[in-house]
Each structure stands twice: as C-alpha cells, then as structure tokens.
Structure 1
C-alpha cells in the first residue's frame, strides 16, 4: 500500500498532500506519531495534538509540523485547539486507548467511563468542532482510527470493545449524514499492533504487556497502520475507503492468533 496517486489537491509533480493541512490527535506516541511522520513525508502540513506537549514539540520539530496541546476530554481544550487552526483538510481521530482487561462481572465503572470519554465522546467533541473547517476546505477527510475490537467482541475486553463499537457506528452514521457533501469519512480498523504504550496502559505491567505479543511473529507496528492511513487519505477524493481492516498475517481473526513455540521464538 505504499504507492500513492495524486489527490485532487495536488498538482503535477507535487506530493499528494501538498497544500493540505492534516490534524492528527493522540500524536505523542504510537500510531499517532507514526501517522504524523508519514503524512508529513506525503507533503501534508501536519498539526499534532495531545496532552504531552514536550513529546509533541519534539515530533513537530522533526517533521516541520506544528504542535498544539489537546485534551479531547476537555471542552475548553478542544475549543482552544480549534480556534488556533485557520484551515483543516484532514482530521485523523487517533486519540484513544484501553485501560483495563477486566470481565464484565468485575467491571471498574471509572475505567469504563474513562475509556468511553476518550475514545467516543472526545472523538465526537473534536469532530463536531472541526467539521465547519473540513466542509470549508472543499475536499475534507475525517479518518477514524478504530479497531477490530469495534467489529468483534472478546472476553476481557468489554470496556474497550464497547467504546470501539461506538467509534465504528459513529463513522458509519457520519458518512450517511455527510452524503453529498465534500467530506469523506474513512475508518481504519487495525488488529494486533505492537506499540510502546497501548498494552502497557491496558495491563498495568510491562511483563503482562509483553505476554500479549509473545510468540507472535511480526505483529503490526505503528508504521504499518500509518501506511494504510496515508494510502486511504491520498486516494483521489471521489474514492472513499469506508473501512480498511488490517491485521498481521499471524492473526487470522480476533481469537485466531498463531504463536511460535517458546524455543522457536527464542531462537529468532
């Protein structure tokens, strides 16, 4: 998917994103940071938003982008972020996360509320705020970084799967509501992706986080997902990639993951 063709915004000899401004949320690490780097390489003017401004500023400096503080769970933060932007052509809704792996019978409702607030309400809050600018661009894109957890449920994942199902139906509904307008709605749904923080935040320990990927040969990494996001965003604007599901070859389905025996894994 690394090959791209010029978008409608790009002229002959230009990179596909030239002249377009892309906002990437949750860009301080993982998929968000990788996406910001990839879109900058595609020629987009990239604005990165997250709570950890020190990380954002380092990333922005490395890609020639702009860093702005953003907490999608805080209305005042979203309002200030929106007011600081003159133009938005692309919104990559990446901010999110999972914060527990408890069964429903042991549900921590505070964790459920946090998961829903970040993944769903925060995404709605920022999308609503930036839609006027996306419409005004004449060729806007709203891309939701969802998950296969938004398509298939599994034990121990109810707080996260419920939230990501919410993101999935949010994308579907918005696409219906914007039909006929110059704004595409795209959803990318990754499966198993090994990043530095996702499983650590979810399990609370590095040992348990490492166990999630133990024996899995070549799980996806953040750059793989960023490649898919860049590909979808650089299609000609009449082409809408509604839903792009991407998994590592070792993961055939949510419950079907091939793991090498310990001796083979250690030998590699």
Structure 2
C-alpha cells in the first residue's frame, strides 16, 4: 500500500502509537507533519523519517491542552501547504485512577481539555486544508473508554469523560461531513500494549491498531469505514 505524495498530520507523534503512525505513513511515501507537545520528541521522530524515508517529515509543536498552541499549529500548516489529506487525531493524555480524588484538578483539566477540546479545535482549524484535498480523511484514535457501558479500563474517570466527548464529536462530524466526501474514521481499541506476539489470545498491540488505520485510509473514496470496534481479551475473572 503506497501513500506517496499524501500530506498527513499526526498528533502525539513523539512517542508510542503516534510515533508508529507517523513512521508507518512515511514508510509508504507520505509527507508527515509530526506533531508533539515536546519539540525534542517531534524532532526525533522526524529525524528517523529523514534518515530512512522514503517519505519526508516536518516536526511541529502542538500542545492539545492549550488552544493557543492548537491554533498556532494549524496556522503553521496553512503557511506550509495548500491542502491536507489525512488528519490523525491521536494525541491524548492518559491518567490512571479509580477514584476522582486520585489525580489533581490540573490533570483532569489537561486530560479533558487535550483529548476533547483540543481535538475539536484542531479539526475545526484544519478543515479548510482538508476540504482542499481530493481524498480527505480524519482519523480519530478514541478508546473503548468512549463506548457506552464500558467499564473494564483502569483509566481515571476524566479519561472516560474525554473519550466519550471525542466519540460524540466523531459521530456528528462523520454524519455532517459525509456529503462533502470527507471520511471520518474512528477506532475504539481497548487498553493495548506497544509490543507483543500479536496472537489471537494475546492483548491488542499498537502495530495492529496502526495497520487498521492504514487499511482504512487506503480504501477507495466510496468506502466509508466509520468505526473499528475490538473484542477485548477476557481475563480469568471476566
């Protein structure tokens, strides 16, 4: 599967799944706008792409929990390109905790603000560039924490709140942007591991999540895959 020439923006691309997504698109020929809160992390991902190709990369800073940073990132992209083919809304802070009091107020604000408000604002400000593409895709890495009735994650309630907000946003913009030919693809993976054997009885891996994204983006324009839902590995007590 080749994405040669595509212009792709990936948030949270400085580490873990976001980094894998950026590398995977670049390995297939895309030009990737590598976004991360930490400029050093964004630069390291972009440098790997520059060294290994065949795609290209530009590192950029975007702190999704800060609206001014989101707007600045979107403005920088508008200065550097006249269109954007794929926006991958991957960036989100994860916090553990069973009880609301397990984390400080600032962490709750950052978690919900980054994943929920940040995703909405970034999508809003990049829509003009996506509308200028001949094959625009918006990909949302949500979580089973955004599914109604899901209770199996050890994530803090604030993370659940953020992911439910993302899911609701993805649902409505998928409906409203469909007529324009803009695909909105959302993934709801359970808690997953970065590395693993990738066996049917094992936990979902980041590589498998990335390959789902690549598959969906690689489909022809008439194929609107709206969501990926995953079965979660059953624990002995479940």
TM tier relative to shorter chain: 0.7 to 0.9
Match of 2:69 among 74, 77, 82: 77
Tell me, yes or no, if structure 1 residue 147 matches structure 2 residue 143.
yes
Q: Which moved more, 1:132-141 or 1:103-112?
A: 103-112
8 A contact 2:65–2:115 mirrored in 1: no
Q: Size of the alignment, in residue pairs?
A: 220
Identify the residue that residue 19 of structure 2 maps to in structure 1.
33
1:56 to 2:42 alignment: yes
Structure of greater Rg? 1
Where does residue 94 of structure 1 map in the other structure? 90
Bigger shift: 175-184 or 77-86? Answer: 77-86
Which of 224, 238, 259 is the aligned partner of 2:222? 238
Question: Match of 1:142, SS?
Answer: strand
TM-score, length-normalised on structure 2? 0.84
Kindly indicate whether residue 7 of structure 2 is the aligned counterpart of residue 21 of structure 1: yes
Q: State the alpha-carbon separation in 2 of the partners of residues 62 and 71 from structure 1.
A: 22
| Cα pair 1:138 1:183 within 8 Å, conserved | no
Post-superposition shift, 1:51?
A: 1.3
User: Partner of 2:198 in structure 1?
Assistant: none
SS of the equivalent of 1:179 reads helix
Q: Deviations over 1:96-143 (max 9, x none)?
A: 022231324767544332221011001011100101100111321111
Alpha-carbon deviation of 1:83?
A: 2.0
Q: Identify the residue that residue 186 of structure 1 maps to in structure 2.
A: 185
TM-score by length of 1: 0.75
SS in 2 for 1:58: helix
Distance 1:49 1:107 in 2: 26
1:168 aligns with 167
State the shift of 1:52 in Å.
Answer: 1.4
The alpha carbon displacement at 1:258 in A equals: 4.8
Cα distance in structure 1, aligned partners of 2:101 and 2:41: 37
Conserved in 1, the CA contact under 8 Å of 2:10 and 2:90?
yes
Specify whether residues 191 and 67 from structure 1 end up closer, same or farther in structure 2 by C-alpha distance, changes over 3 A only.
same
What's the RMSD between the two structures over aligned residues? 2.3
Secondary structure of 1:72's counterpart equals: coil
Q: Tell me the equivalent position of 2:53.
A: none
Matches of 1:110 and 1:153 in 2, distance apart?
A: 25
| C-alpha separation in 1, matches of 2:215 and 2:235 | 26
Match of residue 52 from structure 2? none
Displacement of 1:49: 0.3
